[in-house]
Structure 1
Amino acid sequence: MGRPQVARAGRAVDGGSRRTEILQTAASLIATSGLRTSLGEIADAAGILPGSLYHHFESKEAILVELLRDYHADLDRIAEQALERLDDTRSRSAFDRITDLGVGIARCAVAHRAALQLSFYESASTHPELTELTQRRPTAVMDAMLQTLRAARWDGYLRADVDLPLLADRVCQTMLQVGLDVMRHNAATDKVAILMCRILLEGLATGAPTDAELDSSAAFTAAEQVIGTWRDDARADDKAARVRAVARSEFGRRGYENTTIRDIAAATGLGTGTVYRLIGSKDQLLVSIMQSFGEKIAAGWTEVLRSDSSVIEKLDALSWVNTNVLDRFGDEFRIQLAWMRQSPPDTPNPGWMFAARLRQIKSLLTEAIRSGEIRIDSRSKEMLARSVIGIGWVPENILRERGTRASQLHVRDTSLRGVIQR
Structure 2
Amino acid sequence: MQAPVTTSVHTLRTAHEQFVTVPGALPRVRDLVADSWRRCAVRGVHPDGSRLPPLRATAAELTDYRCAHPLAAVLPLFRELLGDGAADDGHVFAVADTDGTLLWVEGDRATMERGEGMHFAEGAVWSEARAGTNAPGTALELGRPVQIVTGEHYSSAVHAWSCAAAPVRDPFTGRVLGVVDLSGGGTIATPPALAAVRGAALAAEAHLARTLTVPTTAPVSGGRGDGVRLSVLGRDSALLEHGGRVLRLSPRHSEIVLALALAGHGVTGDRLAVELSDREVPSSTLRAEMTRLRAVLGPTLLGSRPYALLCPVRTDLGEVSDLLAEGRVAQALARYPGPLLPRSDAPVVVEQRRCLEQQLRGAVLADGDPGLLRRWVAADWGTDDIPAWSALAHALPGGSPQRAAAAARAHALDAENAVPPQVVRHAAVLQRSRS
Scaled to the shorter chain, the TM-score interval is under 0.3
Instruction: State which structure, 1 or 2, has the greater radius of gyration over its C-alpha atoms.
Output: 2
Higher strand share: 2
**Normalized against structure 1, the TM-score is what?**
0.24
**Normalized against structure 2, the TM-score is what?**
0.24
Higher relative contact order (CA 8 A, sep 6+): 1
